[in-house]
Amino acid sequence: MSDSRLPVTVVTGFLGSGKTTLLRHLLSEGQQRLAVVVNEFGTVGLDGDLLKNCGFCPNDEVDERIVELNNGCLCCTVQEDFLPAMEALLLRSNQLDGIIIETSGLALPKPLLQALNWPAIRSKVFINGVVTLVDGYALSKGSPVVDLKSIDEQITNDNSIDHLTPINELFRDQLISADLVLISRSDLLSEKDFSLVRDEVKKQGNSITNILPISNGKIEPSVILGLCKEQNNISRSNQDDHDHDHVDVISEHLRFEFPFDQDVLKKILIKLVPEYQILRIKGRCWIEGKALPLQIQMVGSRFNSWFESASNDSWKPSKAGIDLVSLSLKGGVYKAFESFF
């Protein structure tokens, strides 16, 4: 079977940054069979209800597709809550296209990413990406959190927390771990204020991480969830100027029929990411002497690959080659890639 590993997307950000609003949009508009693990201490029931009521799947599947973990900060209850929940979802992996994990704003992303590499689940999933939401309006006023009182209450009431990390350190950890940063409530910012917020995010996080504005949780779903199962189904990204704050996402098809070295290919693709603001790459590489093609999944500079069979109707080179699709904010990926050979 093609693409049997499930993509797992981690969505993180502080209380009020817009995580649940984004998830409602992805679930209702993403056209994928998704399961969601929700962990927002103190508002778990509310978040779960908001997701369940968005009509993303038949009513008899809702309780199996939305998993609510309310025993505290997820990164501190990995073994007790997170891993059993993942193992239960993976029993139904053939009925899913992906899993989204919505963390509490107090959760450190790194322990969750490490848990996804545990032997029990690492052969069944890959890290699709870490998406960090930042409340742009709050940050423009000097704080990454719009409601510090609510955050303090979370910290006080969550007995499971074993990391008393200051808010600013948590914020930096969320940004450093991110493959994509979304600036929410960007419609409330002037062009100057948005530029200042973006500069602050780059200063505290990874300077090459892509940063996009977002309002009301609306964004092209493939930017977050990845490209659809068969890349040849994608011709271009469908954009609504008002929904996406005038951010155009460009889709390009890279199909070449000559030998590639796996390590060289990885270096080239990662090198192109910051220059062309590449959001995603998906596809396959057929390497001479290998019985199976190399599956390739990238979000930003995060590179995932494994050998796995392709479906019978997929394009195949006569000997060796690649068949990739990229989503970027700047055109010219095809020509830039071609220039290396």
Q: Does some domain include residue 174?
A: yes
Beta strands in 64-216 (DSSP E): 66-68, 98-102, 125-135, 180-184, 210-213
- Taking the model in full, what pTM does it have? 0.81
pLDDT of residue 228: 52
pLDDT of residue 70: 62
CA distances (Å), origin 329, targets 128, 239, 248, 275: 19, 12, 6, 10
Residues 151 and 284 in one domain: no
Contacts of 120 (CB under 8 A, 6+ apart): 83, 87
Boundary (domain end) residue, out of 168, 194, 225: 225
How many CB atoms lie under 10 A from the CB of residue 290?
12
Residues 68 and 215 in one domain: yes
Q: Does some domain include residue 273?
A: yes
Residue 111 sits in a domain of what CATH number?
Answer: 3.40.50.300
* Domain total of the chain: 2
Residues 274 and 150 in one domain: no
Residues 100 and 208 in one domain: yes
Boundary (domain end) residue, out of 225, 245, 270: 225
pLDDT of residue 86: 84
CA distances (Å), origin 76, targets 73, 242, 272, 280: 6, 39, 36, 30
Contacts of 19 (CB under 8 A, 6+ apart): 11, 12, 13, 40, 102, 133
pLDDT of residue 111: 78
Residues 264 and 205 in one domain: no
Query: In which residue ranges of the chain is pLDDT below 50?
Result: 1-2, 43-46, 75-76, 163-164, 229-245
Angle at 196 between CA 195 and CA 197, to 5 degrees: 90
Q: Does some domain include residue 283?
A: yes
Q: What is the pLDDT of residues 172-220, one digit of tens each?
A: 999 999 999 999 999 999 999 999 999 999 999 988 899 999 999 999 8
Residues 220 and 235 in one domain: no
Q: Does some domain include residue 206?
A: yes
Sign, CA dihedral 138-141-147-151, equals: positive
Answer for the pair 282, 220: CB distance below 8 angstroms, yes or no.
no
Q: Does some domain include residue 293?
A: yes
Residues 33 and 112 in one domain: yes
Answer for the pair 114, 49: CB distance below 8 angstroms, yes or no.
no
pLDDT of residue 16: 82
pLDDT of residue 243: 40
Containing domain of residue 289, as a range?
231-338
Residues 141 and 102 in one domain: yes
Based on its alpha-carbon atoms, the radius of gyration of the chain, rounded to whole angstroms, reads 20
Residues 311 and 204 in one domain: no
Boundary (domain end) residue, out of 175, 200, 225: 225
Q: Does some domain include residue 1?
A: no
Residues 262 and 305 in one domain: yes
Residues 188 and 252 in one domain: no
CA distances (Å), origin 127, targets 10, 183, 303, 314: 8, 22, 9, 24
CA dihedral 126, 130, 131, 133 (to 10 degrees): 150
Q: Does some domain include residue 218?
A: yes
Residue 262 sits in a domain of what CATH number?
Answer: 3.30.1220.10
Which candidate, 121, 119, 156, places its Cα nearest to that of 37?
121
Residue with structure tokens 């693709």?
269
Residues 213 and 251 in one domain: no
Contacts of 149 (CB under 8 A, 6+ apart): none
Q: Does some domain include residue 117?
A: yes
CA distances (Å), origin 79, targets 84, 124, 126: 7, 18, 19
pLDDT of residue 38: 82
